[in-house]
Structure 1
Amino acid sequence: MGIINKMAFKTLVLLIVFVPLIVFSQDKLQQPLPLDPAVKIGKLENGLTYYIRKNGRPEKKVELRLVINAGSILEDEDQQGLAHFTEHMAFNGSKNFKKNDIVSFLQSIGVEFGADLNAYTGFDETVYILPIPTEKKENVEKGFQILEDWASTIAFNAGEIEKERGVVLEEERLGKGADDRIFKVTYPKMFEGSKYSNRLPIGKAEIIKSFKPDVIKRFYKDWYRPNLMAVIVVGDLDPTEAERLIKKHFSNLKNPVKERNRDLATVPPRSKSEGLVVTDKEATNHVVEIYYPYHQVKEEKTVGDYRTYLVEILFRNMLSQRMQELTQKAEPPFVFGASNIGGWARGYEGFNSFAYVSKGGPKPAIEALMQENERARKFGFTAAELERTKKVMLKSIERSFNERDKTESDNLVEEYIHHFLNREPIPGIENEYAYYKEFLENITIEEVNRLTAEKIPADNAPKLVIFTGPDKADFKIPTNEELLRIAEEASKTEVKRYEEKEIATSLIQKAPAPGKIVNESENKELGTTTIKFANDVLVILKPTDYKNDQVVMNASRFGGQYLYDPKERLNAEFASTAITQMGVGQFSPVDLRKVLAGKNASVSPRIGSVSESVSGQCSAVDVETMLQLTYLYFTEPREDAELFNSFVTKQQALYQNMTSDPQYTFQDSVIHILYEDHPWAPKLPTPETFSKIDRHRALAIYKERFGDASGFTFVIVGKFDVEEIKPLLKTYLGSLPSTGKVSSFKDVGLRANKGPIQREVRKGTEPKSFIRIFWNGEAPYSEAEQLKLQALAEVMNIKITETLREDLSGIYGGGMYASLNKYPYSYYSVGLSLPCGPENVNKLIKASMDEIVKVKTKGPSEADLNKVKETWKQQYLVNIKDNAFWARQLLQNRELGIEPSSILTYEKRISAITSNDIKAVANKYLDTTNYVQVVLNPEAHN
């Protein structure tokens, strides 16, 4: 038999083998997408939908959600803002809970207001977030009672409505500024002809100020009804018990006799192209946006739909990477740019592009966006791009699959929320992993390019081109007509095919000679192994099963920027940033992304004030890649003039108008008031900052700090075997260059000013103020004292919420922070931040000082202190099974000279804190006659 006949025979065999599989695959594509078998979905007789899933991460905790299929889009003309206001009122009293009882109870069981307990309102939905510890059955029962009350018996007490007006108006005030003013002009144009154009969830201030209680009650009665609700229960709770509690608390809820239709708002297609230019003197960045017509989204119902979805993800990711590459030029067309498919209107999506404009103005940015879109539409992508993107997607789904029994409940909850509201598929990770493996391999470049040509609108498609930003004398602002003309001309420019550049296929061509271990010890209590190498590098290993596919690395040693002359400050400050912009070894950042396709590993070096550090993470099979990257960052930082100039150009563009922002000016003033003209005082960047960085000197400083690894401690935590990782550690960490020289830090004498100092800063046109109060000074460091000082801040935050927010209606957010620091000298730092209205500044300062006096005089109540302790306990129970927590804590304890085992005594130490301890630290650190107070007021404030 000749060669040709042999090949023909092989072809025939292949056809016989594969044709039945293709037929089966086509059959399979018509099948409906399955529902995740791990979740139980049910419906009560009144129409309420529920989702229940048993999940053990984190242990002894359940995530509860009440999802209302109603948001601001359903408001009547006289209700604008009241969907959101209803959400606020849910925390201000109900049938079974008086005002603040909900928040107080939840704080007492360790659920933190704002961080854990929360809610949000969108155009089409309102979602209440309630995590509950499951250690006590009665707390779980009470959690379901809270959900029931939110769903059916919010009190809407007239007095509480009056108080809450101030809180909601403060939230609305927080959003005020240039971006908000610009958005209120551009957004209605984006959704012209649709109800979405005039139903922003925050609503109208005039309605919030004056609505009558019956108006908000009408919204609640119309739309908070069981057939528009879902209850979602995911966590460490028996599913049978969860279902019993749902039926007990929600079966008796009734729908209105006369229901209002829950219709979806429509978005009419754009019929003509337009340009829109909006400027504001306080804007900080010039931005270009291009919106094409919105169209209705096809619901994904079949396996074939899911396959099409994968093709679309491939196209989106590849287009995104091309946009990123454009920013690597010495004179980039934009600082950042992207094209995508999406939208805010439920059931609709559209193709859009946007970019932060660089120094060249809107023309090169628009040309780059449109021409890159057209290049993809006309010529598609390359086979090499497709293969890399497939690898990235497969790696991502593989990690999710590997972690399927270690996925946190709050991540799972989000999937079920989207399924209820938007009918997004939830086939379950096992099915999705199977689809990825089966379909990605057989998706061809021709198929992707066909979809790309369909999804990217043609040159003549109607478009809305928006240009926004500051109106500066040195920057030519186009008219509406000129802006559109730029886009139309850009769409007619001929484009060429994308050219793929050849790159090396491996990070390191030849592995370094392994180093030697000189000492090794175990700490069985902590489950750690400590290895000392001959090059004076120390490695602490903690293998865990907290995640199935995660390894976290943290490393540091003393050193840092303060070792250099203040004249070298900028070169030292931006040295590590410059390196990450230029790459390592043979690879630019873009090339690095390509060579790492299919791997999950990242490493980031940093030079701080008193230390240099490295952080990294990877999947369990990519530990060697992470260590190779680490080795390269120590030994082969890359110098690239074009990429450095690109970095400088982009940063200058970002910061060229930053001083227009009142908050920027305020922060700059605060720094000057605290530190005056000290050469190492913190500084906010300006365009001139980046022009002063010397590339060669920055690289030299980087090499000085990382070219000698002596004294570095690495902590590696996660899924690995100690014996299997040792050879890799020897090769890539034990071989790092070392002189044995001891690296230390320097105290440059930077100290914050003490008070009493009171200053006012005038900036901005909006009626917005900001209060900052600081207490700083030297104090001996101890772990116990640090804990007490942080407890003081948390107790104060409870009182700030109760008094300044709930009683005085003077703030939406804000609070106190505190820390005790050991390096470069022992000092404490306490700060109070309160955004508010100018009319409330003096009242809020007095109320804050009154609360400080109370805690200094009497100490906190046992109830408030116990709330803090319980919150910390619940957080600790989660953290103690988190790889990143262990990596961070083990390294920090070593830096501070603290016994590593103190990690295990945390609960005991917080239990020992008393009210008298808090009273003592309040008197020690909060001297109300010795503080720095800076207030931002608007320019026109009287």
Structure 2
Amino acid sequence: MKQFLFFALAFFLLGSSATAQIDLNSPVPIDPEIRTGVLDNGLTYYIRHNQEPKERASFYIIQNVGGILEDDSQDGLAHFLEHMAFNGTKHFPGKGVISSLEKHGIAFGRNINAYTAQDETVYNISNVPVAPNGLMDTCLLVLHDWSNYLALEEEEIDAERGVISEEWRTRRDAGFRTRNQTMPALLNNSKYGERDVIGELDVIKGFEYDELRRFYHDWYRTDLQAIAVVGDFDAAEMEQKVIELFSKIPAVDNPKERYEVKVEPRAETTFKLATDKENTQSSVSMYVRHQAEDAGDKNHNTLKTNYKRNLIRMMIGTRINELLQKGNPPFINGYISFSDYPRTVSLMSIASTAKENEEALAFEAILTEVERVKRFGFAEGELERAKAQMLMGYENYYKQRDKINHDSYCKELANLYLENEPMPGIEYEFKFAQAIIPSITTEELKAYFNSMYTKENRVVIVTGPEKEGISHLNQDEAFAIIEKVENNASITAYVDEVVSSSLVEELPVEGKVVSERALPEFDAVEWTLNNNTKVVYRYANYNKNQVALSSYSKGGSSLYEVADLPSASMASDFVPAFGIGDYDAISLQKALTGKKANVEFNISGLSEYISGSSRTEDFEIMMQLAYLHFEQPRFDEEAFNALMARYKAYVANMGDDPKKIMRDSISQIRSNYHERNLIFGPEYLEKVSFNRMEEIYKERFNNAADFTFFIVGDIEEETAKAMAAKYLGAISSNDTKENWRDNNVNGPEGLTKKTIPVKLAEPKATVQIIYNSELDYTPENRIAMSFISAVLRLRYTESIREKEGGTYGVGVSASTTHYPEAEGSVMIQFDCDPERANDLIPLVYAEIDKMIKTGASTEDLDKTRLNILKSRAEGKEQNGYWMGNIRSYYVNGINMTLAENYEEIVENMSAKDIKKLAKKFFKKADKIEVVFVPQED
């Protein structure tokens, strides 16, 4: 009751215009919809009723325990223990947790998962159907076992060593190795800097069983745990279930202190250079460390500080974007941000991605922007725009409050429990934001910025390729640049240019609707406009205050010769950087201040289209942007050259990235080395022409009558009709109707088998197996292919991951395409020890052979069936479900909203059906088997 009274009083104060009445040093109340308490054994619980998605619930157990608590002999065992939670508990022996839940369509990986970090370990069972009798009790029992009743059987531990060893192998890329070099410097050689969560391979493979058990019994205990349950259920009833079940777990006697690791201050600036042969980009960053706010001290000021950080980030981001639009930009990209990582440290990050051998230029440029803010702060105009954008974000979030999903709440609750992050509820925070954000001044922001940009606890980190011909910034050079910038008297204040906010001054002619046709199967309507443009509209308010726009026109890059493909395909990356109409990109951003409306375009292989989204109140702005994309596109050669310089620097060392080498190799093999399958890189960019890009764009978007537009969302029909007619009907049109062209880009026939050596810093094999075959584009085939991929994932998880410990995971994807030819494709991929690839590949084929002979087991079919139906039901509660299905109907001619084209097929899918399609597809499919192996020196 006291909590509720405090909330009501605080909310009353927030409703007042006198912001001075808000005591920023007072604690932030907890969302009154949350039922919370601490049991006698020390366990904390949070229960909240929520309806997104309907008839679902999510269950989390949050452990205030992570890798930082490990002894040296336990390096990696916090993460290992997380894996063991899925390998046997008191009430769910063996793989019982997963198998018990998957029977109800709750998929491992998608709905059942966990993560381990330095300071916490969090387990989740998400989007659980609430209807099946006893299922929610089962989920609570799983959390109960995860709390205190892991089996930790020796056989299961040994089996998991292989899985985690392969996870260790998979994660060892350039980014991981670079991080391991830089973290000790960033975090002043603290334990945080010296350890990574996955641990050392010799520990993973050789630790004694009791080391894992000791970590478990020391740290998995009720006083370091919280239960969060959010969903569409009776919260009072759920609270009683949690209290009754979890109160039975005994508290640990004489518990060890849950200590925190502090990162000690260091007055002088330090420096670290980290290189790697597989790195493709150079970066120069400066970090300034501060001690993070103590969890117990967080209050309303914490919320205000977050606002200040975001305002600063937004304004500096805009300034950096301006730099990148003109001339020869000093860096590929840059940013300034604030974060709290790890939990005892607050970081200010000043980062730049540098062009090859231009690290000094990049570092000086980004520091100059920092120094500009330090001396002069921010202009009133740019602050007002940033405030408007932030307030619009809160308003939109508030209007969407009924669509905040269960997992979002659970993640907030995890932050509340672990770090006391304020969680007052969206209603409260919206009111607080409205009261506080307008009052924030340029002087406050400058003062906060300078309090973070101090000369103590600085670390300069340079990372980049280890490659002949590339030199990197050294410590003396970096420190000299800092001194040069700080003593540069020529730095001036930022000049904020004001722009008009009117996008379309006058239309040459306003369009109108000349006919309309009802589409009762979609509860939609099709309008034909005076320029012969078709517009399809459906009202949908599952996502309130949101409207989506899409379109479709046949043709795309298929109509162009090989020489034009780079200019066509890169248009969607370059043209947005030019702005639109009378506005360059920066002016357009300013003109759209306080608005939430955007429109993008793309030229794909077989079509061109625009797509957009907006708030309901900004729907007309979206329509204006759509109109301008056709009638007044902007082409700015200076912006083109600036972006091209960044792209060329970005791709300069891509050839050393093993992942790109593998992607490109597979792409070439799949197209049978067709001339139209061009590889992105330096040579590709040389073929991009500014003039040709403009010509192609105008050819693709010059005829509204060749487009069908789709409008779906929270917008009344009469408004949508009037605005669509006014703007889309005003777009130029003609009688030309285009179609795509089949350029016969086909894969190799029969069996293609290759072993490709790749330079790798860590020994690893990557296996990719691809099947392609003709396949009629029918609802039955599309759904059956989904079943095939899902069942194969289940089988490979059991055989290759769990039984063999041969890989961290096997990816399986299946797809069907309608045009230019009706085809199906199945792709299977995994990483493994190079010595084991030849032993594991036959297991892939064994499962496919079994599917051809017998289809699939009843258990695997039922797991897949329930998961597909569960996802389908959840998807129907989103506006995007209707946009996707209506658009697909116009493109492919199949109405997938009909039960006969979806639910009935899923419900009736049998082992016989799977067997029939598997035999038909795999037997006649062309097959590609590629194994990437380490190249011998």
Q: Same fold (TM over 0.5)?
A: yes
- C-alpha displacement of 1:30: 4.6
- C-alpha displacement of 1:547: 1.7
The aligned residue for residue 914 of structure 1 is 910
The aligned residue for residue 7 of structure 2 is none
Match of 1:744, SS?
coil
The aligned residue for residue 704 of structure 1 is 699
- C-alpha displacement of 1:901: 4.5
Residues 795 and 553 of structure 1, relative CA distance in 2, 3 Å threshold: same
The 10-residue stretch of structure 1 (507-516 or 337-346) with the greater mean CA deviation from structure 2:
507-516
CA contact (8 A) 2:343 2:419 kept: yes
Deviations 1:362-406 (A, max 9, x none): 111101111111111110000001100010011000011111222
User: What are the within-5 Å matches in structure 2 for residues 517-528 of structure 1?
Assistant: 517-528=513-524
Q: 1:35 aligned to 2:30?
A: yes
Deviations 1:310-364 (A, max 9, x none): 2333223222222232222231111111111224211320212112112461111
CA distance in 2, matches of 1:884, 1:492: 54
User: What are the within-5 Å matches in structure 2 for residues 396-407 of structure 1?
Assistant: 396-407=393-404
CA distance in 2, matches of 1:86, 1:302: 34
- C-alpha displacement of 1:214: 0.7
CA contact (8 A) 2:357 2:472 kept: no
Residues 341 and 308 of structure 1, relative CA distance in 2, 3 Å threshold: closer
Q: 1:756 aligned to 2:751?
A: yes
CA distance in 2, matches of 1:586, 1:114: 48
What RMSD over aligned residues (CA atoms) do the two structures have, in Å? 2.0
CA distance in 2, matches of 1:770, 1:150: 34
The 10-residue stretch of structure 1 (305-314 or 667-676) with the greater mean CA deviation from structure 2:
305-314
Q: 1:743 aligned to 2:712?
A: no
User: What are the within-5 Å matches in structure 2 for residues 560-575 of structure 1?
Assistant: 560-575=556-571
The aligned residue for residue 713 of structure 1 is 708
Structure 2: which amino acid aligns with 1:450?
Answer: A
CA distance in 2, matches of 1:176, 1:198: 16
Structure 1: which amino acid aligns with 2:372?
Answer: R
CA contact (8 A) 1:709 1:736 kept: yes
The 10-residue stretch of structure 1 (472-481 or 629-638) with the greater mean CA deviation from structure 2:
472-481
The aligned residue for residue 824 of structure 1 is 820
The aligned residue for residue 445 of structure 1 is 442
CA contact (8 A) 1:359 1:649 kept: no
CA distance in 2, matches of 1:426, 1:833: 41
Match of 2:444, SS?
helix
User: What are the within-5 Å matches in structure 2 for residues 121-136 of structure 1?
Assistant: 121-131=116-126, 132-136=128-132
Q: 1:541 aligned to 2:537?
A: yes
The aligned residue for residue 512 of structure 2 is 516
Q: Which of 298, 321, 335 does residue 338 from structure 1 map onto? A: 335
CA contact (8 A) 1:274 1:484 kept: no
- C-alpha displacement of 1:751: 0.2
- C-alpha displacement of 1:903: 6.6
The aligned residue for residue 12 of structure 1 is none
Residues 382 and 310 of structure 1, relative CA distance in 2, 3 Å threshold: same
Deviations 1:809-860 (A, max 9, x none): 1111222211221111222222111121212211211111111111111110
The 10-residue stretch of structure 1 (714-723 or 117-126) with the greater mean CA deviation from structure 2:
714-723
Q: 1:799 aligned to 2:792?
A: no
Match of 2:172, SS?
coil
Structure 2: which amino acid aligns with 1:728?
Answer: M
The 10-residue stretch of structure 1 (301-310 or 529-538) with the greater mean CA deviation from structure 2:
301-310
Structure 2: which amino acid aligns with 1:777?
Answer: S
Match of 1:245, SS?
helix
User: What are the within-5 Å matches in structure 2 for residues 391-540 of structure 1?
Assistant: 391-457=388-454, 460-494=455-489, 495-540=491-536
The aligned residue for residue 65 of structure 1 is 60
Residues 796 and 329 of structure 1, relative CA distance in 2, 3 Å threshold: same
The aligned residue for residue 103 of structure 1 is 98
The aligned residue for residue 239 of structure 1 is 235
Structure 2: which amino acid aligns with 1:401?
Answer: Y
CA contact (8 A) 1:713 1:891 kept: no
Residues 294 and 139 of structure 1, relative CA distance in 2, 3 Å threshold: same
CA contact (8 A) 2:551 2:707 kept: yes
CA distance in 1, matches of 2:600, 2:812: 31
Match of 1:234, SS?
strand
The aligned residue for residue 725 of structure 2 is 730
Structure 2: which amino acid aligns with 1:713?
Answer: T
The 10-residue stretch of structure 1 (305-314 or 875-884) with the greater mean CA deviation from structure 2:
305-314
CA distance in 1, matches of 2:91, 2:305: 49
- C-alpha displacement of 1:56: 0.6
Residues 756 and 138 of structure 1, relative CA distance in 2, 3 Å threshold: same
Residues 770 and 577 of structure 1, relative CA distance in 2, 3 Å threshold: same
Residues 164 and 35 of structure 1, relative CA distance in 2, 3 Å threshold: same
Deviations 1:555-614 (A, max 9, x none): 112110010111211111112322112121122222222111111111110000001122
- C-alpha displacement of 1:27: 5.5
The aligned residue for residue 682 of structure 2 is 687
CA contact (8 A) 1:777 1:827 kept: yes
CA contact (8 A) 1:535 1:736 kept: yes
The aligned residue for residue 363 of structure 2 is 366
Match of 1:405, SS?
helix
- C-alpha displacement of 1:741: 1.3
CA contact (8 A) 1:754 1:777 kept: no
Q: 1:312 aligned to 2:303?
A: no
The aligned residue for residue 353 of structure 1 is 350
CA contact (8 A) 2:757 2:935 kept: yes
TM (normalized to structure 2)?
0.95
Q: Which of 644, 659, 673 does residue 677 from structure 1 map onto? A: 673
- C-alpha displacement of 1:304: 4.4
Q: 1:870 aligned to 2:833?
A: no
CA contact (8 A) 1:817 1:832 kept: yes
Residues 535 and 352 of structure 1, relative CA distance in 2, 3 Å threshold: same
Gaps of 5+ in 2: 1-12
- C-alpha displacement of 1:123: 0.5
CA distance in 1, matches of 2:580, 2:290: 43
Structure 2: which amino acid aligns with 1:543?
Answer: Y
CA distance in 1, matches of 2:259, 2:517: 67
User: What are the within-5 Å matches in structure 2 for residues 584-595 of structure 1?
Assistant: 584-595=580-591
Q: Which of 770, 773, 776 does residue 769 from structure 2 map onto? A: 773
Percent identity, aligned pairs only? 33
CA contact (8 A) 2:44 2:226 kept: yes
CA distance in 2, matches of 1:546, 1:204: 48
* Structure 1 residue ranges, 4+ long, deviating more than 6 angstroms after superposition: 20-24
CA contact (8 A) 2:101 2:107 kept: yes
- C-alpha displacement of 1:488: 3.3
CA distance in 2, matches of 1:746, 1:27: 65
CA distance in 2, matches of 1:28, 1:256: 39
Q: 1:216 aligned to 2:175?
A: no
Structure 1: which amino acid aligns with 2:604?
Answer: G
Match of 2:57, SS?
strand
Deviations 1:477-528 (A, max 9, x none): 2333333333333333231100112322221122452212122122344321
Structure 2: which amino acid aligns with 1:656?
Answer: A
- C-alpha displacement of 1:675: 2.5
Deviations 1:146-186 (A, max 9, x none): 11111111111111111101111111111112222222111
CA distance in 1, matches of 2:217, 2:336: 41
Match of 2:923, SS?
coil
Match of 1:353, SS?
strand
Q: 1:655 aligned to 2:651?
A: yes
The 10-residue stretch of structure 1 (519-528 or 624-633) with the greater mean CA deviation from structure 2:
519-528
The aligned residue for residue 3 of structure 1 is none
Structure 1: which amino acid aligns with 2:741?
Answer: K
CA distance in 2, matches of 1:22, 1:883: 36
CA distance in 1, matches of 2:298, 2:67: 28
Residues 453 and 758 of structure 1, relative CA distance in 2, 3 Å threshold: same
- C-alpha displacement of 1:139: 0.7
User: What are the within-5 Å matches in structure 2 for residues 165-204 of structure 1?
Assistant: 165-204=161-200
Gaps of 5+ in 1: 1-17
Deviations 1:870-900 (A, max 9, x none): 0010100110111122212210121001136
CA distance in 2, matches of 1:23, 1:623: 34
The 10-residue stretch of structure 1 (165-174 or 273-282) with the greater mean CA deviation from structure 2:
273-282
CA distance in 2, matches of 1:24, 1:545: 34
CA contact (8 A) 1:35 1:425 kept: yes
